[in-house]
Structure 1
Amino acid sequence: MAKSSRKVPGLNASSMADVSFLLLTFFLLVSNMDVDSGLARRLPPPPQSEDQSSVDVQRRNLFVVLVNAQNETMAANQHGTEWYANEAELRGEVGGKVALKDRVKEFVLNTSNSPDLPELEEQDFGAPIGVVPVTAAHVVSIQNDATTSYKAYIAVQNEVVRAYNELREEGARKYFNTSYGELTEEQQKQIQDLYPQRISEAEPKNYGGGQ
């Protein structure tokens, strides 16, 4: 007697696409993705002409902060040079070194009117600040080696920005008797004009690790 061949019933796969889509949506919603956070700092406006990019900065107006391949930091201007081996030294916590932020503040203010620091010129910032001598041409130049670690570079960035933040906080309390965060937008603009963030970031280069 011949065996009858049975046909295997076909599977209904019409809903597989919907299930796959739901699974994909689920994993997208519950998965954590690493996102690089940027620096909380307002960038300077773009130059008005190509000529401005070629303006020479006098040596006394330039403060160079260089991070080398060994993640060591050199801070140098006409007033002197300091080397920082790690983040603790950057913050002035060990080694008896002056913190980087304090060196930046000294450079920006030039309260002693030193010829080695940026030249002071009087500017009117409006009431209640009035006419104040400021270093209008100062520039903090941050440079790094192509192999500098991201952590070391950000640590230097943080210290330089902290210097400007402290100057603005001190200015707010001196002229408005309150914290910078409590000022109106117009008052904050006055303080920003008084202490503008003049930070230049150069393209990474292969400087090497030697001092």
Structure 2
Amino acid sequence: MNLKREKATVNASSMADIAFLLLIFFLVSTRIASEKGFAMSLPPKQEQKVEPTPALDRDVLRVSINSENKILIESDRNATISEIKKLVKTHLMNYGKEDNYSQNPQKAVVVLSSQRQTDYNFYIEVLDQIKAGYNDSKADFLTKKMGVKYNAIEIIDFAQQKTLEEKEMYQLLQKEFPVNILEQNNSN
């Protein structure tokens, strides 16, 4: 008895359907990496053209980062990252007492300049310290005004404006302490 065996074959008619379903599954379930950066709030667009008021030299605090990641204040004094926050706070909270610092927080400007070879992470650390100086100054101002202790984290939370009270606090702080940080990139 000689039986002929049929060759075994796999039915591949549904393979295309399975591949298509797998492709859709991976497209839907895969998280695509997005670029990360830092958020900067731009001021609202003004309807009327307003001429900028010239800043007095005392109202401008110049922070420079050179190509070797060294910080210079007013182009002649070396500083460390840990000193930046305190310098910004002193500049903002001066209220005209010392001639080297701003007349008041509304007129205060911090200019951050860097060279092209400056390390990006170092630049971000310095910018964070400048913003921390602003937030600490706002917290001190609000503590004096309201008689309740505020910290920088609470000041940052006011920006979300979840409640009417937070919205009012945020607007007060924006009026009293506008964040005037100018960033310059020196091509040297």
Deviations 1:10-66 (A, max 9, x none): 974663364155246427635562531323x5333346666646x543222211111
Give the match for residue 90 of structure 1: 81
- In structure 2, the residue matched to 1:114 is 98
Structure 2 equivalent of residue 129 of structure 1: none
Question: Judging changes above 3 Å, is the alpha-carbon distance between structure 1 residues 52 and 201 closer, same or farther for their aligned structure 2 residues?
Answer: farther
CA deviations over 1:106-151 (Å, ceiling 9, x no partner): 1112246223322x3xxxxxxxxxxxxx343221111111222210
Match of 2:187 in 1: 206
Contact in 1 for aligned 2:106/2:175 (Cα 8 Å): no
Name the CA distance, whole Å, in 2 between partners of 1:101 and 1:144. 18
Letter in 2 for 1:100: I
Change beyond 3 A, Cα 1:37–1:72: same
Q: What are the residue-to-residue correspondences of 1:28-177 with 2, within 5 Å?
A: 29-30=29-30, 33=33, 35-39=35-39, 41-46=40-45, 52=51, 56-76=54-74, 81-84=76-79, 89-91=80-82, 99-111=83-95, 113-118=97-102, 120=103, 134-177=104-147
Q: Secondary structure at the match of 1:184?
A: helix
Tell me: CA distance 1:140–1:48, structure 2 relative to 1, closer, same or farther (3 Å).
Answer: farther
- Cα distance 1:18–1:57, how it changes in 2: closer, same or farther (>3 A)? farther
Indicate if the aligned counterparts of 1:168 and 1:192 stay in contact, CA closer than 8 A. no
In structure 2, relative to structure 1, the CA distance for the partners of 1:198 and 1:14 (3 Å cut) is same
Note the residue ranges of structure 2 that are not aligned, 5 or more in a row.
Answer: 1-8, 159-164
TM-score, normalised to structure 1, is 0.65
Letter in 2 for 1:192: Q
Deviates more, 1:108-117 or 1:13-22: 13-22
Q: Secondary structure at the match of 1:193?
A: helix
**In 1, distance between residues paired with 2:127 and 2:21?**
44
Higher share of residues assigned helix? 2
Q: Are the structure 2 counterparts of residues 142 and 33 from structure 1 closer, same or farther at C-alpha, using a change threshold of 3 Å? A: same
**CA distance in structure 2 between the aligned counterparts of 1:198 and 1:135, rounded to whole angstroms:** 9
Percent identical residues: 18
Distance 1:144 1:47 in 2: 29
- Separation in 2 of the partners of 1:105 and 1:20? 60
Q: C-alpha distance in 2, partners of 1:68/1:113?
A: 30
Give the alignment's Cα RMSD to 1 decimal. Answer: 3.3
TM-score (norm 2): 0.72
Shift of 1:168: 1.2
Cα distance, 1:28–1:205 mapped onto 2, change above 3 Å? farther
Q: Retained in 2: the 8 A contact 1:108–1:138? A: yes
C-alpha distance in 2, partners of 1:48/1:200?
22
